Copies of this chain bind each other. A is one copy, B any other.
Amino acid sequence: MLPYTANTLKAELNSRGWRLTPQREKILHVFQNLPRGNHLSAEELYSLLDQRGETISLSTIYRSVKLMARMGILRELELAEGHKHYELNQPYPHHHHHMVCIQCNKTTEFNNDSILKHSLKQVEKFGFQLIDCQLTVMTICPEALRLGWPSALPSNWSCSRVISETPLEDEEN
């Protein structure tokens, strides 16, 4: 289930009456060789392939990435304002979450199996079927803090209400 090959992809596509195209194969390849912790937007994927001389139309990029996300091969993430990011969806042992700085969009991944476990418990309690769970932690990174956040932010920006002083001692909910 984990090490996706072109053949695995073809089988899965064909089983649904769909086809393996060079474009889809190249896109899978990009994500498979993307260094851990990287995430690509449609636009970024487009230019990355374009620079390698393997141009794929932006329409096809958008279509493929959406299809592969719906197939569960890619994970669709909301890490920044305005556009989605994608990464390989690697279930259990590599499942991870994201911590994002809301000022500079720097993203840090972290593992935490108990979050997945809690989600699973929640989902089963209601008879739902789990597809994915993503914890997004919005933060201000140390650099932004050092630069005097919030005073260094654009004048229309503000975020006073933080939740870090909450009393949390016990483990279970």
Contacts and interface: CB of A to CB of B under 8 A. Distances in A.
A117 interface: yes
A71 B157 CA distance: 8
Interface residues of A, number: 64
A118 B158 CA distance: 25
How many identical subunits does the complex contain?
2
A129 B140 contact: yes
6 contacts: A91-B166, A99-B123, A102-B131, A114-B170, A130-B164, A133-B138
A163 B71 contact: no
Interface string A103-135: 000001011111111111011001111111111
Contacts of A34: none
Contacts of A58: none
A152 interface: no
Contacts of A160: 12, 71-72
